């Protein structure tokens, strides 16, 4: 129904009301579609790129002029901070490419290493003098204070065990504990105090079948192939108790230990050890590559597993395994450096640094300062060649050693008749 206000208007007023009524309506802008919005943003982006290009061109064009007029002094160098790697970047791609290390793979790796160590343990024994007394703590904890040994050979009559000769002092009987825990009496077959090695024997017929199934003759590997970074395992009495085990890597294979009539390469590792610990160093193929002894660099506060290279000792081990004396002359020497040959006119050979007072070298008249050039007809120019020449002789044999001695008018020839001895 029409309201009262419409009824009271005159025809003329009513006509004006209708004529201007559109001015009271609200005009809304036409909505922008998504397609139009995308086109506008793209247009703005193009404008931004164009402005950026102009800015870069202007910068490089004006840079020489600005540097010439405003930067005559040296500029402060600023090292930017490294950025944290972004997720999903190159680091993430590299991680995806490399095999992931997780708990399962770590356990698998350790299980594989433990399996190899368990196999290598079959060639390890603990040997101790029968007269050795244990203190109450060792008795209570059932700790063996023996020295670690390695089963080196089986000659058909005896099982031969190589160990340190430190347990030979004031002892005539020894007990060997094999991998299965059974103990057998052992006797000393031969020892060499110069190298610090001893060979013990256990009669083959006394070993039970159960023990035979638990032991094996260890394989002596080629330690000359060992290099820095190789993974190794140390087994034996390395922590002050029998049957210890440690993994690590070779930290250095470049050092040598010099002794009378020779030298030996040292395999240093990053495996912690007890300062008086003994044991055997294995590669991951289960081969013996070193003998761990308390005499190898044990004067440091932090003891580490360091071993005598097995390759340098194989000739000595062969003598001991066959019950033969290791040839010994008693010269502590070093190679004459090429620089001294040129600068001071010293002859090449082995310079005598020291002579064992109780040796055949001293008895023959070899003195400190002499230079040995020939041993038993073989030329020697280094400690290694001298050591090889000595070991190719036999204890009790008489040989000729030739060399040079510094006199008033320079070096003169000297010759010595030496009866090769042994140090047992």
Residue 166 lies in a domain: yes
Nearest to 150 by CA among 221, 256, 239: 221
CATH number of the domain bearing residue 380: 2.30.42.10
How many Å apart are CA 219 and CA 236, to the nearest integer?
16
pLDDT of residue 136: 47
Residue 44 lies in a domain: no
Residue 361 pLDDT > 50, yes or no? yes
Residue 104 lies in a domain: no
Residues 235 and 190 reside in one and the same domain? no
Residues 188 and 265 reside in one and the same domain? no
Residues 244 and 286 reside in one and the same domain? yes
Q: Do the beta carbons of residue 252 and residue 228 sit within 8 Å? A: yes
Q: What is the mean pLDDT of residues 349-367?
A: 96
Task: Compare 135 and 271 and report the one with higher pLDDT.
Answer: 271
Can you give the pTM of this predicted structure? 0.72
Residue 301 lies in a domain: yes
Residue 62 pLDDT > 70, yes or no? no
Residue 46 pLDDT > 50, yes or no? yes
Q: Can you point out the beta strands (E) in 26-157? A: 124-129, 147-154
Residues 182 and 244 reside in one and the same domain? no
Q: Is the dihedral of CA 244, 245, 248, 254 positive or negative?
A: positive
Residue 157 pLDDT > 90, yes or no? yes
Residues 157 and 190 reside in one and the same domain? yes
Number of helical H runs and strand E runs in the chain: 11, 18
Listed in sequence order, the residues at least 6 apart from 210 whose beta carbon sits closer than 8 Å to its beta carbon are: 180, 182
| Least confidently predicted of 19-28, 128-137, 253-262 | 19-28
pLDDT of residue 10: 53
Q: Could you say which of 212, 247, 263 is where a domain stops?
A: 212
Residue 243 lies in a domain: yes
* pLDDT digits 0-9 by tens, 210-257: 999 999 999 999 999 999 999 999 999 988 888 889 999 999 999 999
pLDDT of residue 311: 93
Residues of the chain above pLDDT 70, percent: 72
Residue 66 pLDDT > 60, yes or no? no
Question: How many structural domains does the chain have?
Answer: 3
Residues 376 and 286 reside in one and the same domain? no
Listed in sequence order, the residues at least 6 apart from 228 whose beta carbon sits closer than 8 Å to its beta carbon are: 250, 251, 252, 253, 254
Residue 92 pLDDT > 80, yes or no? no
Residues 303 and 338 reside in one and the same domain? no
* pLDDT digits 0-9 by tens, 1-42: 444 444 455 555 555 555 444 445 555 555 656 666 666 666
Q: What is the mean pLDDT of residues 167-186?
A: 91
Residues 308 and 367 reside in one and the same domain? no
How many Å apart are CA 312 and CA 317, to the nearest integer?
10
Extract the tokens encoding 185. Answer: 């009496």
CATH number of the domain bearing residue 243: 2.40.10.10
Residue 403 pLDDT > 60, yes or no? yes
Structural domain of 404: 331-419
Residue 93 pLDDT level (bands cut at 50, 70, 90): very low
Q: Could you say which of 212, 244, 266 is where a domain stops?
A: 212
Residues 338 and 313 reside in one and the same domain? no
Residue 43 pLDDT level (bands cut at 50, 70, 90): confident
């Amino acid at each position: 129904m029409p309201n009262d206000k419409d009824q009271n208007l005159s025809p003329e007023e009513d006509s004006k009301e209708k004529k201007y009524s559109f001015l009271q309506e609200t005009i809304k802008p036409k909505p922008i579609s998504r397609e139009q919005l995308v086109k506008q943003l793209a247009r703005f982006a193009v404008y931004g790129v164009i402005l950026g290009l102009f800015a870069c061109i202007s910068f490089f064009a004006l840079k020489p002029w600005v540097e010439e007029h405003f930067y005559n002094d040296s500029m402060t160098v600023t090292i930017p901070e490294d950025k944290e790697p972004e997720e999903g970047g190159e680091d993430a791609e590299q991680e995806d490419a490399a095999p992931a290390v997780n708990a399962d793979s770590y356990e698998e790796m350790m299980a594989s290493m433990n399996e190899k160590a368990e196999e290598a343990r079959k060639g390890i024994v603990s040997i101790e003098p029968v007269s050795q007394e244990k203190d109450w703590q060792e008795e209570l904890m059932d700790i063996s204070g023996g020295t670690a040994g390695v089963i080196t050979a089986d000659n058909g009559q005896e099982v031969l065990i190589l160990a340190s000769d430190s347990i030979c002092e004031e002892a005539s009987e020894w007990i060997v504990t094999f991998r299965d825990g059974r103990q057998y009496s052992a006797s000393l077959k031969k020892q060499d105090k110069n190298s610090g090695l001893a060979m013990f024997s256990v009669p083959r017929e006394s070993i039970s079948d159960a023990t035979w199934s638990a032991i094996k003759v260890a394989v002596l590997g080629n330690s000359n192939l060992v290099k820095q970074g190789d993974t190794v395992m140390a087994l034996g009495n390395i922590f002050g108790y029998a049957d210890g085990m440690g993994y690590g890597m070779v930290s250095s294979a470049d050092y040598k230990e010099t002794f009378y009539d020779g030298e030996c390469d040292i395999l240093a590792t990053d495996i912690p050890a007890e300062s008086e610990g003994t044991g055997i160093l294995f590669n991951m193929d289960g081969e013996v590559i070193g003998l761990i002894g308390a005499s190898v660099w044990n004067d440091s506060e932090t003891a580490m597993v360091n071993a005598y290279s097995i390759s340098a000792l194989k000739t000595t081990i062969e003598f001991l395994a066959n019950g033969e004396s290791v040839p010994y002359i008693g010269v502590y020497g070093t190679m004459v450096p090429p620089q001294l040959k040129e600068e001071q006119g010293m002859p090449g050979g082995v310079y005598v640094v020291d002579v064992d007072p109780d040796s055949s070298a001293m008895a023959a008249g070899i003195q400190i300062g002499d230079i040995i050039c020939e041993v038993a007809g073989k030329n020697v120019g280094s400690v290694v060649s001298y050591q090889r020449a000595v070991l190719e002789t036999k204890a009790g044999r008489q040989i000729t050693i030739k060399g040079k001695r510094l006199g008033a008018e320079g070096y003169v020839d000297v010759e010595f008749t030496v009866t090769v001895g042994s140090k047992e």
